[in-house]
Structure 1
């Protein structure tokens, strides 16, 4: 019998023979260990002899053992070690078994961790918002198996917020939807996403625009900007200076709070905000007016701290710091019997005008540019780092109008510095 002879054994021969080791051929053996009989495949890989267990005789019959041996030989011909392949599959199956029962909380946390590690979000504020939403507001979902999350489960956490805290409710729905979409791609769920809005939750929840008057940030009327700026310049503190610079540059609070000295060229009167700090993910050049340059030159620089407007302990100012400046100024006006710094067009639940917000000053700037300046709308939109024109127009546009925006920035600064009238109406 040649050494390459295969399929030597028969079922009856195996039953009748109790030898310690029985050869079937091609490296397949039936061996006796202790009180049991086991199939092994004897082979050589990379010049070394190896053995691969194929299972006990009581659960793996002769035909199954031969098929398993053939499968292993196919791997060998492909240059793959069957033992290592089997070990890899075992790890994959174990991981799959673990994820199959992973609950929503575990998966959501891992989803956020992956996004952070990939640099998907530009600031810690976004990460904190996701973690807060999916930890606190989605708390009832966290212990549930992610494969079992249903429409009723999603509604149970959204409905208490819907119409009361609308923005939070919408963010919660969207984030749950994205987490469940990711789980489906990984094979941990099947079927439709229960958090989808269109064609799904829109049929059981009122449309968002039917519950909220506007999504705009409360903004101070541009006619009151000079009075506000005059009062603001009389307030000491880094928060007040950061707010003043934010208004003069019509930028976002986060961009100013994270601004570093190496981004600013005082001689060129220009501030270049890196793409990673911009909402649109594209670098933005800001034309600095003489007033903005004067403010920066008067701002102290601190050793080993690149931030232009650092907090007391050298860290980045919080968003609440700038907002607190506006609120304190408003409270002082009200205490003195004056109207306060409000947006008369936006009312709260009690029908009272809302206090202007830091972000709302971008709207103040845009309204001023539209209503009383002679500058084109496109320049104001560029100053706000908004996309101008359709996709085709933007594709052919190579400039950002920086030089023209210098005059716009100067005119805005001059307007903010003018002496306010006793009573100004829009």
Structure 2
């Protein structure tokens, strides 16, 4: 028989802890709020388990829940995990939805979420989507990754990271008794071919001739690639360029932070050659399309593979991103421009924290001179 009664619980007002026996306590807060806690001790370890508000959980219900928790502990089970099981453990697909909802606020744009979800829909959901997160084992994860581990190494690594993120959430939320054995899974897979991590870059001394051949025909993709080369911008920044970002009178292109890798606004000084491309795109503008370099679908940007496809059609083994490397190599080997000016032109974040704290300007005029020299070289 417990020490407390329903009326004692109802009338308790003094802040503190009232014991009912067998580890069940009524906690009264200074605010007057009351809640139930079950304290269990085994093998020298003591843990407290919340049982809910006394306004919603009666004394009799609290005693039942406390007995259940004590039984689980005696059987060597984790009460939090067992309670989650009783509430219903989510499938991997359901857990993914929870993780996406939690992380959505931290991502810069919807594109990242789309890529995240697309890889799981393609490679993971067919095998694990309807499996409860508590039942997913290391061998199951390995079997999913093994199918693409060597043929699509970069994608496989991303899939591994995303599976781990979902299962980490499940463990932290009490839906798994153990963490996912991602390290062991990786060791159980064959060694991937080495990749130096660099984009294939055209040697800078070949860039002028390449631009000449690029101008032999006209299309939005060719104009976009030349514009990317002349501005040393990333492919995505160029493909997503919008008319309102340009101030041709002052020869500036202002890319909003939402479209930048570093999530920081970037101002690009435009050379005469770059402005000619924008003006030509204006003449070819399709109605009120907001994009400077639209894709095949109405009011949609060029796809991320369009420029790569163009390079392959021109029999070039390089990548669009690699022209940024060509630009950087040219600055280092052929000019006297300062390193920090080149890095600013590439919109690279300052890695040194002390340097970053003191460098507040955007070196715009120095970058303007640098880009003029680059345009002259690319003629």
TM-score by length of 2: 0.75
CA distance in 1, matches of 2:356, 2:177: 40
**Are residues 402 and 206 of structure 1, via their aligned partners in 2, closer, same or farther at CA, if it must alter by over 3 Å?**
farther
Contact 2:260–2:266 under 8 Å retained in 1: yes
1:105 shift after superposition:
1.7
Corresponding residue for residue 56 of structure 2: 85
Gaps (5+ residues) in structure 1? 1-62, 90-94, 331-340, 342-354, 418-426
Question: Runs of 5+ in structure 2 lacking a partner?
Answer: 14-27, 35-52, 62-82
Partners of 1:123 and 1:385 in 2: how far apart? 22
Kept in 2: contact 1:103–1:145 (CA 8 A):
yes
Tell me: CA distance 1:389–1:128, structure 2 relative to 1, closer, same or farther (3 Å). closer
CA spacing shift, 1:83–1:378, aligned 2, 3 Å: closer
Matched, 1:220 2:202: yes
C-alpha contact 1:243 1:358 (8 A) present in aligned 2: yes
Moved more, 357-366 or 321-330: 321-330
User: 1:250 and 1:99 mapped to 2: Cα distance?
Assistant: 54
The one of 267, 280, 284 equivalent to 1:285 is 267
* 3-state SS in 2 of match to 1:375: coil
Could you say if the C-alpha distance between residues 64 and 266 of structure 1 is closer, same or farther in structure 2, counting changes exceeding 3 Å? Answer: same
Which residue in the other structure is 1:321 paired with?
306
Q: 1:101 aligns with which of 63, 80, 89?
A: 89
Other-structure match for 2:143? 156
Aligned partners of 1:121 and 1:127 also within 8 Å: no
Q: Secondary structure at the match of 1:299?
A: helix
Could you give the per-residue CA deviations for residues 289-338 of structure 1, whole angstroms, max 9, x where no partner exists?
111112112222454432222224122221122222222222xxxxxxxx
> Aligned to 2:107, what secondary structure does the other structure show?
coil
Following TM superposition, by how much is the alpha carbon of 1:129 offset from its aligned partner in structure 2, in angstroms? 1.9
The residue that corresponds to 1:337 in the other structure is: none
What corresponds to 2:178 in structure 1?
191
Query: Residues 142 and 402 of structure 1: is their aligned pair in 2 closer, same or farther, counting only changes over 3 Å?
Result: same
User: When the two structures are aligned, how many residues end up with a matched partner?
Assistant: 321
Q: Secondary structure at the match of 2:274?
A: helix
Q: CA RMSD in A?
A: 3.0
For the residues of structure 1 that align with 2:179 and 2:54, how far apart are their CA atoms? Answer: 39
In structure 2, the partner of 1:261 is: 243
Structure 2: distance between partners of 1:389 and 1:131: 31
Where do residues 335-414 of structure 1 align in structure 2 (5 Å cutoff)?
341=316, 355-414=317-376
Match of 2:268, SS?
Answer: strand
Q: 1:119 to 1:310 in 2, by over 3 A?
A: farther
What pairs with 1:194-205 in structure 2 (closer than 5 Å)?
194-195=181-182, 197=183, 200-201=184-185, 203-205=187-189
The structural deviation recorded for 1:128 is 2.6
Instruction: Judge conservation of contact 2:142–2:188 (CA < 8 Å) in 1.
Output: no
Structure 1 Cα separation of the partners of residues 87 and 280 of structure 2: 57
Do the aligned partners of 1:99 and 1:188 also contact (CA within 8 Å) in 2?
A: no
2:119 is aligned to 133
* C-alpha displacement of 1:225: 0.7
Structure 2 distance, partners of 1:299, 1:265, is 15
The range that moved more, 63-72 or 359-368, is 63-72
Residues 327-386 of structure 1: CA deviation (Å, up to 9, x unaligned): 2222xxxxxxxxxx2xxxxxxxxxxxxx21111111121122222222222222111111
Shift of 1:184: 2.4
Instruction: Return closer, same or farther for 1:111/1:291 CA change in 2, 3 Å cut-off.
Output: same
2-side partners of 1:67 and 1:227: how far apart?
91
Give, in angstroms, the shift of residue 141 of structure 1: 2.2
Larger Rg: 1
TM-score normalised by length of structure 1: 0.67
Distance 1:123 1:360 in 2: 25
Q: Give the aligned partner of residue 134 of structure 2.
A: 147
TM-superposed deviation, 1:171: 0.7
* Cα distance, 1:255 vs structure 2: 0.9
Q: Is the 8 A contact 1:154 1:194 kept in 2?
A: no
Secondary structure, aligned partner of 1:271:
strand
Task: State which of 137, 158, 176 in structure 2 corresponds to 1:171.
Answer: 158
Q: What is the alpha-carbon distance in structure 2 between the residues aligned to residue 305 and residue 74 of structure 1?
A: 69
Q: Provide, for residues 173-218 of structure 1, a one-character-per-residue CA deviation record: whole Å limited to 9, x for no partner.
A: 11112222222232222433322x4xx455444665xx21322111
Is the 1:225–1:416 Cα contact (8 Å) retained in structure 2?
A: yes
